[in-house]
Structure 1
Amino acid sequence: MLPPYRAYSPLIGMRRYFADLLAVLSRRYKLCHITRHLAVYLLDLIMDYYDVHLTELYTISIVCLLLASKFEQREHKVPTLADVNNFSCMYGPNVTITKKKRLEMELLILKRVNWNLCLPTPAHYIDYYLCASVTPTDLHNGWPITFKAEARGLIEKYSHYFLEVSLQDHVFLYFRPSLVAAACMAASRICLAITPSWPITLRMITQYSWEDIAPCVDLMLVTYHKNIRAAMREKEQAMLLQQQQRMESLTFQFPAQVLFPPSPCYYPQAQHQDVPSQFQLPMRDPFAAFRASLQAPQSRSLASGNSSLLPSVSTAQASSEVVPLQTRSIQGSTGTMQVDILEDPSHYLSLVLGSSYFSTYDSGTAGCLENEQSE
């Protein structure tokens, strides 16, 4: 007969921490799940009947694990006191358990359970129930189960998960251990979409109907869905953090001036420092004096069908500059005549810049032809 659980401990809020601590120690020393469940149950009994300090509660939890491992494990698997003290210095509070303190706590625990450590826990029943976890009439999403061994392995994993869930909350101590194990089986089948959720075989083995285990199954499924939502939130936060880090790395590798280059139509002033001054605005007209000389009346000489058209240039200009000439043939109504025309690259620039030099030059040439025809 198990002692009744009352949940009277003033430190019941710290129960989850010590249950997790015992789970960590069990994984560290590779203890079986039965040992861990028995150690947590011994801790619950001491917390429920004794008002102990927080530091002493840490010592009691370690001693509960050592006592449960002595009862359930083989001798070479039992952790030594020196190993536990080293672990507490590295990961837990700096509490050193002496041999004398260990014996005192072991006597206190054994007196509380009347020297009887054969206390059943849900872990003692789960292996027996797993033998009938999959029946020949089971369906998965309405279809027969072909690979029954794989289905049995999945049910085993889920049932051990729900066993860990039952250790996290003291509310499961109000149910019988055999009923908690049966609820773990039913909750596993529900999560895996195996119908019926509570077959006749499991009902006969456990001696519990669906109405008996339904409240405990509901508590397990509520905790299961809470854990799923918490895991999804953590995953989303991790993905957002990765995206933020990726964007920061891209911003660091590609600065803004590279991602957004200036428009092709924009030319900074510094790019035109090497351009000659005659191509900058306002531009100086080098042929203003030459056009003025063409517009003024000049004397022209004609000889033997050849005409020479020369601008009036000052003596200083003539002496300092050599004006290149090119002979062109002009076809008229009365015959062909040869004309000397000024050859200068700036003459062609006037077409682009819109100067009146070319029109003035044509008018002068037309005037020569008219005088020749009149004569």
Structure 2
Amino acid sequence: MELESQWWRGQLAGDIYHALRYKELKLPAYKGQSPQLSFRRYFADLIAIVSNRFRLCPTARHLAVYLLDLFMDRYDVSVQQLHVVALSCLLLASKFEEREDRVPKLETLNCLGCMTSMNLVLTKQSLLHMELLLLETFQWNLYLPTAAHFIEYYLSIAVHETDLHDGWPVSNVEKIGQYMAKYADYFLEVSLQDHEFLNFAPSLVAAACVAASRVVLRLSPAWPCRLQHLTAYHWEHLTACVERLLIAHDEDVKEANKQKCQQQQKQQVAPTVFHGSGAVSTVPQYLHRPALQFPQQNCLSLQPSSHGATSYMSHASIHAGAQPHGHLQPMPASLDTKVNIAFNRAYQVNGHYTSAAPCFDR
């Protein structure tokens, strides 16, 4: 989509916004019928971790997850192939949204720690084949608006000096605006983790992220007239989406508080490091989100071979006994590429987000 930096402040902002709203009316329908839907959260998190590693823009990350959702919704994809599909979606999205010099290179991608821990090695041929299948699936059209494409336009007027904070006038609009941007980014990431948010229009999800941020920051009114006029959404339109976001936020806060208590307990018995200079320091205990756990279903579809690597069962045998929902297309045999990957039942990807709400002071 290649929008210029801070497009929402330019003279064409209104025209660009209306073009995005018009385009979202023609987005493909999402049915949520993938037999591998239980794995969706894991692969969305994998995309987020890799995109954070390369510092890709939010629009590239959100477009990648959206491409993955639509592809899974149309094809009966084996769990093994979803790794190639997910990373191919990220590469395509980054090529569409980022500058060329920021697009991840194959060599660098294969050197990532998470790739090494998965024993996953991508090849140029496998990625090219998968990118071709993705482009053909979407008829070479990647102009697909996501919530990340709308959020900056809404944030441009999300905080105003006429707002009230806990019933008092806002004393520092710039500081509140910074917190607003952080919370909006957090809620955007929350919306990526649950496919149920695909039931809402991207512009509505973006508006709900701003509304939820205002609620958490205790700004009133929760949805002022200026935002209602800009987004064309009334509070009643946003309620269902905002509630989902706030529930997720409350759960994250509880989890963060729980980990904070555990951290404090560990600090009491934290190991001591002695430096050559005689100085003594305590090893810090960092608070982070739990490691992402790979679902255990279908892990038995992979069997160790005599060479110690993982051998691939046929596509039909993997899904034997599992009835796909709706009319899903099988993966084309010519593009059913294989990758070197090993699983175990306790498979984990170590990583965490950098913008969880409890991680910064309100």
Task: Give the TM-score normalised by structure 1.
Answer: 0.63
Residues 205 and 241 of structure 2 are in contact (CA less than 8 Å); yes or no, is this contact kept in structure 1? yes
Deviation at 1:90, TM superposition (A): 4.7
Of structures 1 and 2, the one scoring higher in RCO (CA 8 A, sep 6+) is: 2
Residues 88 and 96 of structure 1 are in contact (CA less than 8 Å); yes or no, is this contact kept in structure 2? no
Q: Matched residue of 2:259: which SS?
A: helix
Matched letter for residue 135 of structure 2: L
2:232 is equivalent to residue 195 of structure 1 = no
Cα offsets for 1:15-65 (capped at 9, x unmatched): 111111111111111111110000010111111111111111001111111
Matched letter for residue 46 of structure 1: F
Match in the other structure for 1:25 = 50
Any stretches of 5+ residues in structure 1 without a counterpart? 247-375
Match in the other structure for 1:10 = 35
- Give the distance between the partners of 2:254 and 2:116, measured in 1 at CA: 29
- Give the distance between the partners of 1:65 and 1:90, measured in 2 at CA: 14
- Give the distance between the partners of 2:52 and 2:117, measured in 1 at CA: 15
Match in the other structure for 1:180 = 205
2:244 is equivalent to residue 219 of structure 1 = yes
Q: How does 1:115-130 map to 2 (within 5 A)?
A: 115-130=140-155
From 194, 198, 220, give the equivalent of 1:169.
194
Matched letter for residue 165 of structure 1: V
Deviation at 1:3, TM superposition (A): 0.8
Give the length in aligned residue pairs.
246
Match in the other structure for 1:57 = 82
- Give the distance between the partners of 1:92 and 1:65, measured in 2 at CA: 19
Match in the other structure for 2:66 = 41
Q: Matched residue of 2:48: which SS?
A: helix
Distance 1:80 1:147, change over 3 A: same
Residues 115 and 121 of structure 2 are in contact (CA less than 8 Å); yes or no, is this contact kept in structure 1? no
Matched letter for residue 182 of structure 1: A
- Give the distance between the partners of 1:140 and 1:58, measured in 2 at CA: 45
- Give the distance between the partners of 1:44 and 1:201, measured in 2 at CA: 33
From 259, 268, 288, give the equivalent of 1:234.
259
Matched letter for residue 55 of structure 1: Q
2:173 is equivalent to residue 151 of structure 1 = no
Cα offsets for 1:251-294 (capped at 9, x unmatched): xxxxxxxxxxxxxxxxxxxxxxxxxxxxxxxxxxxxxxxxxxxx
In terms of Rg, which structure is larger?
A: 1
Deviation at 1:83, TM superposition (A): 1.5
Deviation at 1:161, TM superposition (A): 0.5
Q: How does 1:1-375 map to 2 (within 5 A)?
A: 1-87=26-112, 90-243=115-268
Higher mean C-alpha displacement, 103-112 vs 84-93 = 84-93
Is the helix fraction higher in 1 or 2? Answer: 1
Identity among equivalent pairs (%):
50
Matched letter for residue 119 of structure 1: L
Matched letter for residue 158 of structure 1: Y
Question: Structure 1 segments of 4 or more deviating over 6 A?
Answer: none
- Give the distance between the partners of 2:40 and 2:112, measured in 1 at CA: 20
Distance 1:237 1:112, change over 3 A: same
- Give the distance between the partners of 1:163 and 1:83, measured in 2 at CA: 27
